[in-house]
Amino acid sequence: MKAMREDLHVLTGSYALDAISDTEREEFERHLQHCPACEAEVRGMRETAARLALACAVTPPVRMEQQVLAATYRTRQLPPLPADRPRRAMPRLVPRVPRRLAMLAVAASVAAAVALGITQLTAQHQLDQARATAIARVVTASDAHVETARTSAGGSVTVVASVALREAVVSTSGMASLPSSRVYQVWVMSPSGARSAGLMHGSSLLASAVRPGDRIGITVEPADGTARPTTTPVAVLPV
Amino acid sequence: MRQLQSESPPPPDLAGLLGQVARGDHRAFELAYAELSGPVYGVVRQVLRDPAQSEEVAQEVLLEIWRTASRYDRARGSAAAWALTIAHRRAVDRVRSENACSRREQKAAEPEPAEDDVAETVAATLEHQRVRRCMDGLTGLQRESIKLAYYNGYSYPEVAKLLGVALGTVKTRIRDGLIRMRDCMEVTW
């Protein structure tokens, strides 16, 4: 009996990836009802599988949207499940995450913030198409390289750079907001000095003429920006 | 993804949108469509390969999301995972219901890069880079097992046969590999 249960438990992964037969699926789903640990594990794996799907997103043909939207007007929706069926209390497993992975988490979430930020800005027409294209070109370059660092002003900054294009996309997330008299200014720093890449008004900025060995720095400056950094950078990242 | 912090406006709350969709809100469905259609179509196409068939199945999936939105329970996982689970399952069902001989000969493929839409491409590419980086941290057998199962839609016995290893080995590798991927990508659930 014990052997069978262990055997079933090993199926969590195959179940989450829909890699089991219908018969096994039914058997496993019965098992799930009595195994909160398995259910929690499956949940984490479903979320992981969703990330595999997000990684291969492709914009569908435009006609699909009209067809689906039209179909919703002809399709009756299911009512909610009766509320008198209490959901089993499921202990939430606290994932044990090694500390060294913390930075990866930051990198991942910031990269997602870049992506979402660009999506939203594009959607809201706050970002002109040319600039969106320029940013997308860097982020999708075959030699795109991602660096992330925490800043001393809170939050983090991510730099996606392409040596081939000599451009870098600088994005910030969660940094302290500044009084209106101050602004975050981005610098391309080389041994010969620092050159302004612009003021950080949104959540991302494109720096051009970036060379290997340069570093990207962010400082707090007067609202109109300055010609040279006047304060200690809140973050410096290699390109 | 729901929890990320950004100075730009917060991303649409997909779980909240699905709640509105469940009450018959067509506008909310349009917003949910904008978020989900790319990943849904992408994963279906990854499994089915045939664009026409993929479009048909993706439409079914998106309509299913409209139809069953009331069954989504945010206590049981993210809205994206709920929707993409439906999508992958539908694609796999389609594959298994027909004997797709030609497809069986294909090797595990990399996810195809997104095409037209700039923002979609950016989002998918960043996610792709992370997935690839984490895939690199797996053993060869774990990686191949997960790719064949998820991206090609093979059952674990089929994966075992393709890789020439025992059934138990494949089950274990898929599970261990997914746990590693989950931790590497810092998936929260």
How do the pLDDT tens digits run along chain B, 189 residues long? Answer: 444 443 444 567 999 999 999 999 999 999 999 999 999 999 999 999 999 999 999 999 999 999 999 999 999 999 999 999 999 999 999 998 875 444 444 434 444 443 444 555 566 778 888 999 999 999 999 999 999 999 999 999 999 999 999 999 999 999 999 999 999 999 987
Closest CA to A172 of A104, A237, A125, A127: A237
Percent of chain B whose predicted confidence (pLDDT) is above 70: 80
In a domain, A122, yes or no: yes
Size of chain A in residues = 239
B120/A78 touch (CB, cutoff 8 Å), yes or no: no
In a domain, A64, yes or no: no
User: What is the per-residue pLDDT for A9?
Assistant: 86
Q: Are residues A27 and A112 in the same domain?
A: no
Measured between alpha carbons, how far is B60 from A95 in angstroms, rounded to an integer?
A: 35
User: Which of B58, B66, B189 shows the shortest C-beta gap to A44?
Assistant: B189
Instruction: Quote the domain boundaries for residue A209.
Output: 103-238
A181-222 tens-digit pLDDT: 889 999 999 888 899 998 888 777 888 888 888 999 999 999
- Nearest 5°: the CA angle A212, A214, A217 is 145
B63/A72 touch (CB, cutoff 8 Å), yes or no: yes
Reduced 3-state DSSP string for chain B: CCCCCCCCCCCCCHHHHHHHHHCCCHHHHHHHHHHHHHHHHHHHHHHHCCHHHHHHHHHHHHHHHHHHHHHCCHHHCCHHHHHHHHHHHHHHHHHHHCCCHHHHCCCCCCCCCCCCCHHHHHHHHHHHHHHHHHHHCCCHHHHHHHHHHHHCCCCHHHHHHHHCCCHHHHHHHHHHHHHHHHHHCCCCC
Measured between alpha carbons, how far is B140 from B128 in angstroms, rounded to an integer?
A: 18
Structure tokens at A115: 């992506």
B126/A139 touch (CB, cutoff 8 Å), yes or no: yes
Domains of chain B: 1-106 (1.10.1740.10), 112-189 (1.10.10.10)
- When scoring B5, B54, B126 by the number of chain A Cβ atoms within 10 A, the one with the most, hence best to mutate, is B126
Angle between helices B26-48 and A36-54 in degrees, nearest 10: 80
In a domain, A72, yes or no: no
Angle between helices A102-123 and A129-139 in degrees, nearest 10: 150
In a domain, A71, yes or no: no
In a domain, A109, yes or no: yes
Closest CA to B179 of B130, B133, B146, B132: B146
User: What is the per-residue pLDDT for A39?
Assistant: 92
Neighbours of A89 (CB within 10 A): 7
B42/A53 touch (CB, cutoff 8 Å), yes or no: yes
Measured between alpha carbons, how far is B149 from B157 in angstroms, rounded to an integer?
A: 10
Q: A91-95, A119-123, B129-133: lowest mean pLDDT where? A: A91-95
| CB A203, CB B6: distance < 8 Å | yes
Percent of chain B whose predicted confidence (pLDDT) is above 90: 72
Find how far residue A198's CA is from the centre of its chain.
Answer: 24
| CB A188, CB A195: distance < 8 Å | yes
Which DSSP letter does residue A203 get? S
Q: Are residues A147 and A225 in the same domain?
A: yes
Smallest CA–CA distance, residue B52 to chain A, in Å, is: 10
Q: Which residues of B touch A137 (CB under 8 A)?
A: none
pTM of the model: 0.61
Size of chain B in residues = 189
Number of domains in chain A: 2
B71/A78 touch (CB, cutoff 8 Å), yes or no: yes
- When scoring B175, B181, B188 by the number of chain A Cβ atoms within 10 A, the one with the most, hence best to mutate, is B175
Structure tokens at B187: 């998936």
A101/B186 touch (CB, cutoff 8 Å), yes or no: yes
- A–B CB contacts, 8 A cutoff, strictly below: 314
In a domain, A138, yes or no: yes
pLDDT over 70 at A125, yes or no? no
Q: Which residues of A touch B97 (CB under 8 A)?
A: none
Nearest CA in chain B to A157: B6
User: What is the per-residue pLDDT for B7?
Assistant: 40
A139/B125 touch (CB, cutoff 8 Å), yes or no: yes
| CB A133, CB B118: distance < 8 Å | yes
| CB A44, CB B184: distance < 8 Å | no
Q: Are residues A29 and A145 in the same domain?
A: no
Q: Are residues A142 and A211 in the same domain?
A: yes
Non-local CB neighbours of A135 within 8 Å, separated by 6+ positions = A118, A169, A204, A206, B122
User: What is the per-residue pLDDT for B23?
Assistant: 96
B100-141 tens-digit pLDDT: 444 444 434 444 443 444 555 566 778 888 999 999 999 999
Q: Which residues of A touch B146 (CB under 8 A)?
A: 17, 52
Structure tokens at A226: 């300055």
User: What is the per-residue pLDDT for A170?
Assistant: 85
Q: What is the ipTM of this complex?
A: 0.85
In a domain, A46, yes or no: yes
Which carries the bigger pLDDT value, residue A109 or residue A74? A74
In a domain, A33, yes or no: yes
pLDDT over 80 at A154, yes or no? yes
Q: Which residues of B touch A7 (CB under 8 A)?
A: 168
Q: Are residues A122 and A226 in the same domain?
A: yes
Q: Are residues A107 and A172 in the same domain?
A: yes
Residue finishing a domain among A54, A72, A91: A54
Smallest CA–CA distance, residue B135 to chain A, in Å, is: 10
Structure tokens at A71: 């179909």
Residue finishing a domain among A14, A36, A54: A54
pLDDT over 60 at A101, yes or no? no
Tell me the CATH number at A150: 2.60.40
